[in-house]
Amino acid sequence: MSNVNLAVNFAGVEMKNPVVTASGTFNPQAHSKFYDLSKLGGVTLKGVADVPWPGNPTPRIAETYGGMLNSVGLHNPGVEVLKAEDLPFMKQFDTKVIVNTAGHSIAEYCRVSEALQDAEGVDLVELNISCPNVKEGGVNFGTNPQMVEEVVAAVKKCTKQPLIVKLSPNVTNIVDIAKAAEAGGADALSLINTLFGMRIDIYRRRPVLAQKMGGFSGPAIKPVAVRMVYQVHKAVNLPLLGMGGIMTGEDAIEFIMAGATIVATGTANLVDPTAPVRIVGEMEAVLEKMGVKDINEIRGVID
């Protein structure tokens, strides 16, 4: 029996440990066949909109050095299906549930948030502001501080659960975006979302993804993610969910030391379905080896 305390409080929500799954990389029905989801601090369900989204044309997934590219396009069946299927399924597990929401306009974001208000079993809502704003010519909400503050303020008014705002790294200054989300009323921030990337099949003389470019994730982006978590932790007074290339318990502890309260596994879930629960055990073992009794002692220890 370990003497290490892994329990944390994230935006007022008590979690048994700081490991959750990242949106879009985790399917509760499939992953629960590999391990008991109750062993995790929480799970994040796939991004959901107010109505079904068809997603992007295929191919939309490709491997690359140190990670993967994806341009799935937030393919999802809509919030009513999530309420009818995923949320009832999650009731059997003793873990927190985060619902990731998407939209192409402030009205769409608000509609999906409002649809979750009567849903049982939603502990936190994660707002994906990397969606293109169709009313502003396709500019991503998350790349403009004024737009970030506006959408966060609007969604906060129609969300009863603590609101996490997921930040895009594809910006000049991540701190400006984080401060805008804080000003808009965010209860927490999650970072980072994927970087933009591209691969070309030189023999076919065309990009490997149908959309040409996609989100780059995996261990290769971890140094960028740790750096951004560190910068944001120093700049805002909000709890952080750190993610970006976490493959081991040591990786996760780096994010905690940089300032994250909890961490999420993403690409790791696709490589090893048991990665999240394995990382919980590895964190415990590493902290014990370091002589750390409580994970909260090491949060943000880097000056």
Q: What is the pLDDT of residue 222?
A: 98
Q: Does 273 fall in a domain?
A: yes
- Which residues make Cβ contacts (< 8 Å) with residue 14, sequence separation at least 6? 7, 8
CATH number at residue 38: 3.20.20.70
Q: Does 61 fall in a domain?
A: no
What 8-state DSSP symbol labels residue 55?
-
Q: Does 87 fall in a domain?
A: yes
**Cβ 186 vs Cβ 178: under 8 Å:** no
Q: How far apart are CA 183 and CA 166, in angstroms?
A: 15
- Number of folded domains that form the chain: 1
Which of the residues 74, 82, 131, 295 is marked catalytic? 131
Q: Does 206 fall in a domain?
A: no
Q: What is the pLDDT of residue 15?
A: 98
Q: Does 124 fall in a domain?
A: yes
Q: Active site includes 131? A: yes
Q: What is the pLDDT of residue 32?
A: 95
Q: Does 204 fall in a domain?
A: no
Segments forming the whole domain that contains residue 96? 8-55+74-197+217-298
Q: Does 172 fall in a domain?
A: yes
CA angle 241, 247, 248 (to 5 degrees): 95
Q: Nearest-CA neighbor of 195 among 242, 229, 230, 244?
A: 244
Asked if omega into 219 is within 30° of 0 (cis), the reply is: no
| Residue 87: strand, helix, or coil | helix
* pLDDT mean for each 10 residues of the chain (303 residues): 90 98 92 96 95 90 94 89 95 97 93 93 94 64 93 96 96 97 98 95 96 94 98 98 98 98 96 96 97 98 96
Q: Does 212 fall in a domain?
A: no
